[in-house]
């Protein structure tokens, strides 16, 4: 059972395929738990099959419990930006559709302000050739995905690695983040 209490906070990010987003966050010290799920839509308790149609308004997302004594929200934002294409509103890499768009779902005013500052700084950095278009939205409800999606990268490592290596995600990220700062 996960310990919760003082010093533990929650953050929610949509970065395309939640399998990849979950594995990208889970490897960092201070991350206590990462849950894949759905948020941002109009249907209560949607299923994967419903979200996949794009008609529920949800995005695939992850909800992170983190220890603020070991990792800050600002560090989570940096991890997020380094694992997405924030200029693409039509999905992420091989996954197309609004259900795969990027978004930051803030839990309070402090997170909102930090996310906005972080987005503005990334946009000003000219790291990307196009504007940063990631939405920053208030978290409404988060629905955990089905159990077979949780920790998919651990449960099905070969299938996960095959998917990830063919998604175009890592190739894009290497090309963007290995550029020298302008």
Report pLDDT for 39.
Answer: 98
Under a CB-based contact definition with an 8 Å cutoff, are residues 59 and 100 in contact? yes
Percent of the chain topping pLDDT 70: 95
Nearest to 69 by CA among 109, 107, 37, 29: 29
Catalytic residue, chosen from 14, 17, 84, 145, is 17
What domains appear along the chain, each with residue ranges and CATH number?
A: 8-177 (3.30.1060.10)
**Looking at the whole model, is its pTM more than 0.85?**
yes
Averaged pLDDT, 46-66: 97
Q: Which helix (H) or strand (E) holds 173?
A: helix 169-177
pLDDT digits (tens, 9 = 90+) for 103-130: 999 999 999 999 999 999 999 998 999 9
CB proximity list for 77: less than 8 A, separation 6 or greater:
104, 114, 115, 118
The tokens describing 170, both together, are 């890592």
Q: Is 20 a catalytic residue?
A: no
pLDDT in tens, 126-143: 899 999 999 999 999 999
């Amino acid at each position: 059972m996960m310990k919760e209490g003082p010093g533990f906070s929650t953050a929610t990010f949509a970065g395309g395929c939640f399998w990849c987003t979950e594995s990208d966050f889970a490897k960092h010290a201070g991350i206590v738990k990462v849950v894949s799920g759905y948020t941002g839509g109009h249907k209560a308790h949607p299923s994967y099959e419903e979200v996949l149609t794009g008609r529920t308004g949800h995005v695939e997302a992850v909800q992170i419990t983190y220890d603020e004594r070991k990792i800050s929200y600002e560090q989570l934002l940096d991890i997020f930006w380094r694992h997405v294409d924030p200029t693409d509103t039509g999905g992420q890499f091989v996954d197309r559709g609004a259900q795969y768009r990027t978004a930051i779902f803030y839990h309070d005013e402090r997170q909102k302000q930090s996310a906005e500052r972080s987005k503005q700084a990334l946009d000003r950095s000219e790291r990307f050739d196009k504007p940063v278009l990631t939405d920053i939205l208030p978290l409404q409800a988060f629905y955990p995905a089905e159990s077979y999606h949780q920790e998919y990268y651990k449960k099905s490592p070969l299938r996960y690695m095959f998917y990830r290596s063919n998604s175009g995600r890592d190739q894009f990220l290497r090309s963007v983040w290995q550029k020298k700062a302008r």
